[in-house]
Amino acid sequence: MEPDKNAKLTFETALARLETIVDSMEQGEIPLAELLSKYEEGSKLLKVCEARLKDAEVKIEKLKKAKDGSASFEAFEPTRSD
């Protein structure tokens, strides 16, 4: 996957592609050369996902408002449901 194509991916698209790569790697039937290529692509997709999440976090922080209408920049603490 080319870097400029990665820049245009949505979080959901990048995550779906990353999950597909992980699934294919877990099956263990991929030749080494292809495995390395998939690993490299997966690393790039992971960076895209992290960037999209960071952008969302920044937007949420900017949107938080205090009760009196002044801006209140609080750290976003995501809850995990593992």
pLDDT 10s digits, 54-80: 999 888 877 775 555 666 666 666 655
Q: What average pLDDT score do residues 48-54 get?
A: 94
Contacts of 48 (CB under 8 A, 6+ apart): 6, 7, 9, 11, 14
46 within some domain: yes
29: domain range? 3-63
Q: What average pLDDT score do residues 47-53 get?
A: 94
* 48/5: higher pLDDT: 48
CATH code, 38: 1.10.287.1040
Q: How many domains does the chain have?
A: 1
Q: In the prediction, which pLDDT does 38 show?
A: 94
82 within some domain: no
37 within some domain: yes
44 within some domain: yes
Task: Return the exposure string of 1-30: e unless at least 16 CB atoms fall within 10 Å of the residue's CB, then b.
Answer: eeeeebeebeeeebbebbeebeeeeeeeeb
Determine how many CB atoms are found less than 10 A away from the CB of residue 48. 23
31 within some domain: yes
The tens digit of pLDDT for each residue in 10-49 reads 999 999 999 999 999 999 888 999 999 999 999 999 999 9
